[in-house]
Structure 1
Amino acid sequence: MNHEYPGTSATVDDAERYLYTTLGLLGRDKLGMILPHEHVFVDLRTPDKPGYGEADEAEVVAVMAPKIEEIKRRGVTALVECSTTGVGRRADFDLAVSRATSFPIVVPTGSYREPWITPSVREADDEALEAWMFHELSERFEEADYRAGWIKLSAGDDGITWLEERILRAAARAAARTGAVIGSHTMRGRVAMAQLDVIEQEGHSPDRFLWIHTQNETDLGYHDEAVSRGAWIEYDHVSRAPDEEVKSLILRALEAGYANNLLISHDVGWFDPAKPGGGVPRSYTHLSDVMMPSLKASGVDDGTLKVLSEDNPFRAYSRPG
């Protein structure tokens, strides 16, 4: 028997909001299921390593296009790339894969945490950091001629370093000017709460903050606190953790009324230039093939599944045109 979960009604007007993608601006009416946290290209070596972020574009397309075609056949209409500067962001490779498959990808500006921060970001002053992110959000990427869809950051597990806080403050100012969401790879709840404090201090709204990897915080009280402050929580370990473990977290969030604040995804892929031939990427199909049917079998109604897989990713990552 299907269950009507609280908090699943639309809360924003989507008519004047768009995803900023490799293929241009897309409105809600052009989109269905969206995967909110995946990777096409990642280099987890630090930027000082030889060959960092380098690959043959044709090889990247050959490896990753079949993975995109798999989800197209399942009705997925867009994917959010979560690789940012510091972990080998290549907006040009994202564009090449997108064009080869006629599939939109949402790519971030921003920076990863220490010690992956690139020299150009490390050496920039506060004004330059804000200007760089604002330019990529409003004009174009450094390496490709289209606009960033959002801001991706990170913070250390033991707390935000001085440099990470400077980047976050600059990001909050750029995001406030554009309406962009800030997503952060943050493993600890107390660090996520500190990030929310900074974002509020800089005049950006907590409901434009996305706590990536929320599932890694075992104190679920922090999940509750994040939602109470208006932030997005994201369980992005579908297919990487036991299905029943992932499902229990999702069901707990739904029962608590968090349907409108929850994102779910895999955090998989990807072409890795540190491995021969880019390695063996993992498919982006487990959510559609296994987890959503399992949730439905557990009583989650079709309307709630649509909120989780279609409405929420659009609401989280869209911004004014």
Structure 2
Amino acid sequence: MSSETPAPTPAPVPEERFLHTTLGPLARDQVGMMLPHEHIFVDLRTPDQPGYAEAEEAAVVALMSPKIEEIKARGITALVECSTTGVGRRADFDLAVSRATSFPVLVPTGSYREPWIVPFVQESDDAALEAWMHRELTVRLAEADFRAGWIKLSAGDDGITPLEERILRAAARAAVRTGAVIGSHTMRGRVALRQLDILAEEGCPAGRFIWIHTQKEEDLALHDEAASRGAWIEYDHVGRAPDDEVRGLILRALQAGAAGRLLISHDLGWFDPAKPGGGVPRPYTHLSDVMMPLLRASGVDDGTLKALTVDNPFDAFSRPG
């Protein structure tokens, strides 16, 4: 019998995670402050409308590149595009703006809610829906040759329709296979919690879910419940709602212990093909120029601000390479 002491089992090496962007995968040390909910191009008309999601690429680049340059000058290093299929996703336009500004953008796969769901999604069976999202996450998006960075969905205010539930379950299975995060435009807390239940049934952890537009739910206890279950809550109305209202929500979430589960952004931009010349986009600068100084003045330390604007967005949107 050998008297040699067995060699210790080596500790597992943490799997490196990346943001999958228009400019390729980016590791944690390659990015700083991020904006987790913005838009470069959106068409909020339903997909059956004439001219839906149509524009000249050069016009989109000319209108939106200055808005990107503004945030680059403020040290912001990446932006999450939240326009998905159904609301005019144009990954090719996102890529053109990204290349023109040398600025990485994360673009989603997935689908918006009814009645914005495009015919392809309506007509696909469950396996085809999962395969479509998985391919866009791992191979390329339909409109451009780069990978989707995440999955964007939505749910009706009165509850999830059967079709929306099928899309969510397919997204959950694609997320489990890839590690991608699912974000959902969901206005009601009870609907968001039901979405978390469905994800759990599919084996998708709550930590891979972002409740987009959490601020729309007036029952703040539901914010706390979602965060306590491990989901990301997102206050994405910076610069659109009164500053004191936004600051109050953020401070309350921090006091409730949600600093590690909170995302903040503007939900602004964008080139709108339904308007002459794309309309007048609103800047992505209010968070850096106004809200962060207000939070500092309210006693929020730099470490917490870094968590909210650097660490949390990376942790939410990154996935294994």
Verify same fold: TM over 0.5.
yes
- State the distance in 2 between where 1:313 and 1:15 align: 18
Structure 1: gaps (5+ residues): 1-12
Report matched runs for 1:73-92 at 5 Å. 73-92=73-92
- State the distance in 2 between where 1:200 and 1:131 align: 20
Q: Specify the code of the residue in structure 1 equivalent to 2:184.
A: S
Judging changes above 3 Å, is the alpha-carbon distance between structure 1 residues 15 and 66 closer, same or farther for their aligned structure 2 residues?
Answer: farther
Is 1:250 aligned to 2:250, yes or no? yes
Contact 2:38 2:82 in 1 (8 A): yes
Deviation of residue 15 (structure 1)?
6.6
Judging changes above 3 Å, is the alpha-carbon distance between structure 1 residues 264 and 14 closer, same or farther for their aligned structure 2 residues?
Answer: farther
Is 1:151 aligned to 2:151, yes or no? yes
- State the distance in 1 between where 2:204 and 2:305 align: 29
Q: Specify the code of the residue in structure 2 equivalent to 1:114.
A: E
Contact 1:15 1:27 in 2 (8 A): no
Deviation of residue 96 (structure 1)?
0.1
- State the distance in 2 between where 1:155 and 1:224 align: 20
Cα deviation digits, residues 246-287 of structure 1 (max 9, x gap): 000000000111000000000000000000000000000000
Q: State the SS of the aligned residue for 1:180.
A: coil
Report matched runs for 1:121-160 at 5 Å. 121-160=121-160
Structure 2: gaps (5+ residues): 1-12
Q: Specify the code of the residue in structure 1 equivalent to 2:185.
A: H
Instruction: Report what 2:111 is aligned to.
Output: 111
Instruction: Report what 2:271 is aligned to.
Output: 271
- State the distance in 2 between where 1:49 and 1:88 align: 11
Instruction: Report what 2:33 is aligned to.
Output: 33
Q: State the SS of the aligned residue for 2:34.
A: strand
Deviation of residue 228 (structure 1)?
1.2
Cα deviation digits, residues 215-255 of structure 1 (max 9, x gap): 00000011011011100000000000000000000000001
Deviation of residue 120 (structure 1)?
0.4
Instruction: Report what 1:169 is aligned to.
Output: 169
Deviation of residue 36 (structure 1)?
0.3
Contact 1:19 1:106 in 2 (8 A): yes
- State the distance in 1 between where 2:288 and 2:272 align: 24
Instruction: Report what 2:64 is aligned to.
Output: 64
Contact 2:15 2:320 in 1 (8 A): no
Deviation of residue 14 (structure 1)?
7.9
Instruction: Report what 1:234 is aligned to.
Output: 234
Contact 1:91 1:144 in 2 (8 A): yes
Contact 2:85 2:111 in 1 (8 A): yes
How many residues end up aligned between the 2 structures? 309
Contact 1:14 1:315 in 2 (8 A): no
Q: State the SS of the aligned residue for 1:151.
A: strand
- State the distance in 2 between where 1:301 and 1:221 align: 25
Cα deviation digits, residues 54-80 of structure 1 (max 9, x gap): 000000000000000000000000000
Contact 2:46 2:116 in 1 (8 A): yes
- State the distance in 2 between where 1:224 and 1:238 align: 20
Instruction: Report what 1:315 is aligned to.
Output: 315
* Percent of residue pairs bearing the same amino acid type: 78
Judging changes above 3 Å, is the alpha-carbon distance between structure 1 residues 15 and 67 closer, same or farther for their aligned structure 2 residues?
Answer: farther
Instruction: Report what 1:102 is aligned to.
Output: 102
Contact 1:14 1:28 in 2 (8 A): no
Contact 2:41 2:83 in 1 (8 A): yes
- State the distance in 1 between where 2:210 and 2:14 align: 19
Instruction: Report what 1:224 is aligned to.
Output: 224
Q: Specify the code of the residue in structure 2 equivalent to 1:38.
A: E
Judging changes above 3 Å, is the alpha-carbon distance between structure 1 residues 287 and 33 closer, same or farther for their aligned structure 2 residues?
Answer: same
Instruction: Report what 2:181 is aligned to.
Output: 181
Instruction: Report what 2:10 is aligned to.
Output: none
- State the distance in 2 between where 1:14 and 1:64 align: 38
Contact 1:38 1:81 in 2 (8 A): yes
Q: State the SS of the aligned residue for 1:152.
A: strand
Q: Specify the code of the residue in structure 2 equivalent to 1:149.
A: G
Contact 1:35 1:265 in 2 (8 A): yes
Judging changes above 3 Å, is the alpha-carbon distance between structure 1 residues 34 and 14 closer, same or farther for their aligned structure 2 residues?
Answer: farther
Q: Specify the code of the residue in structure 2 equivalent to 1:209.
A: F
Q: State the SS of the aligned residue for 2:60.
A: helix
Q: State the SS of the aligned residue for 1:234.
A: strand
Instruction: Report what 2:286 is aligned to.
Output: 286
- State the distance in 1 between where 2:47 and 2:198 align: 27
* Cα RMSD (Å): 0.8
